[in-house]
Structure 1
Amino acid sequence: MDLVFIRHGQGEHTLDLPKSLHTLDPALTKEGINQAKTLKKQFPLSQSDVIIISPIRRTLQTAQIWSEGIKCQKVVSPLVSPRMFPQNPEWQTLPCDEILTKEIIKDDFTDFHIEEELSNEWWSKGINKLPEKEFKVIGEGFLKWCKQIGNKRIYIVSHDGTITSYRQLITGKELTRNDFPKETGFLKNCLY
């Protein structure tokens, strides 16, 4: 099974750093929309593919644009929501990384399935500030769940810190912020 992590397209929260990080619910920019459209050529989807998406508008928009016209399975999960990297217990979740409510997602992204089996705790706090030991347990459980889906290709549309955290978990190598993927950058891992 191929597991491909893809970072969302350029978001409004990156246009005027650091001030723009305090933007609540930032959408994709025009450049981000174009980046999401290029995913159609880079990673053509089929009906058998599964996309797992972070419950943040910019990731949902990236997946929506990329999968337009393809009836693949689209699952929204807080287990791929924003994650600070590296972790610092003194840091707070930024407004740009606040998880959307299930109701907003259902209203704005009607063809996406919401992962309901997870506790509401994950939907309210996500994995942003989860200590490394706890993330390891949750992350390993998430990867095991991905294996159980059984599809040939699973794409995960997420965030730089989240992707790097999962990459570190999968490879066992210590990574830094220098290892972050660029906008709509991807990392491919095989799970057996």
Structure 2
Amino acid sequence: MELVFIRHGQGEHTLNLPESLHTSDPDLTEEGTIQAKSLKKQFPLSKADVIIISPTRRTLQTARIWSEDIKCSKIVSPLVSPRMFTQKSEWQTLPCDEILSKEIIKEDFSGLHIEEERSNEWWYEGINKLPDKKFKVLAKDFLKWCKQFENKRIYIVSHDGTITSYSQLLIGREFTRNDFQKETGVIKVNF
């Protein structure tokens, strides 16, 4: 089974680093919108496809633009929300990486399925500061859940640290921040 991890398009929080990381709920930039539109050609979707989306505005916007007019399954899950890489227990979640509430998602992004059965407790904190041992247990459970879509293409629209954390687990080798994907960068992983 193949998972295709896609990093969101360019967000406002990346325009003036490091100060812009303190932007709450950043949108896609104009360039990020163009990048999201380019996914339509790179990965044409069908109604049989599944997109699992992190609950941040920039990932939701990326998925909405890319999947416009396609009635594929679109699932929002905090199990692919922002994740620090590498983990530093003393670090705090940055404002740009705080996840949206289910209520805001329902209001601003109608038509999406909000995954709660396996992830309800993670809607409040997300996985950003989760210690590696706990993340691995949660990630393995998430990947097991993904297997229910075995005969479908599964895309995960997420964040550089999250994608790197999942890739490290799935591929079985150590990664560094140098392995981070650029905006709308892709990693395909078989498991």
Query: Where on the TM-score scale, by shorter chain, does this alignment land: which range?
Result: over 0.9
- 2 CA distance for matches of 1:163 and 1:151? 22
Stretches of structure 2 lacking an aligned partner (at least 5 in a row): none
Partner letter of residue 113 of structure 1? H
Match of 2:91 in 1: 91
**TM-score for both structures, normalised by structure 1:** 0.98
Contact (CA 8 Å) 2:79, 2:119: kept in 1 or not?
Answer: no
Give the Å deviation of 1:147. 1.0
Map 1:6-155 to 2 at 5 A. 6-155=6-155
Partner letter of residue 174 of structure 2? E
Contact (CA 8 Å) 1:2, 1:152: kept in 2 or not?
Answer: no
**TM-score for both structures, normalised by structure 2:** 0.98
- 2 CA distance for matches of 1:38 and 1:4? 16
Match of 1:160 in 2: 160
Partner letter of residue 162 of structure 1? T
Give the Å deviation of 1:118. 3.3
- 2 CA distance for matches of 1:126 and 1:35? 26
- 1 CA distance for matches of 2:22 and 2:30? 20
Runs of 4+ in 1 over 3 A off after TM superposition: none
Give the Å deviation of 1:116. 1.8
Give the Å deviation of 1:121. 2.4
Stretches of structure 1 lacking an aligned partner (at least 5 in a row): none
Contact (CA 8 Å) 1:6, 1:186: kept in 2 or not?
Answer: yes
Match of 1:175 in 2: 175
- 1 CA distance for matches of 2:129 and 2:185? 24
Match of 2:188 in 1: 188
Give the Å deviation of 1:119. 4.7
Cα root mean square deviation, aligned: 0.8
Contact (CA 8 Å) 1:9, 1:35: kept in 2 or not?
Answer: yes
Give me the identity figure in percent: 76
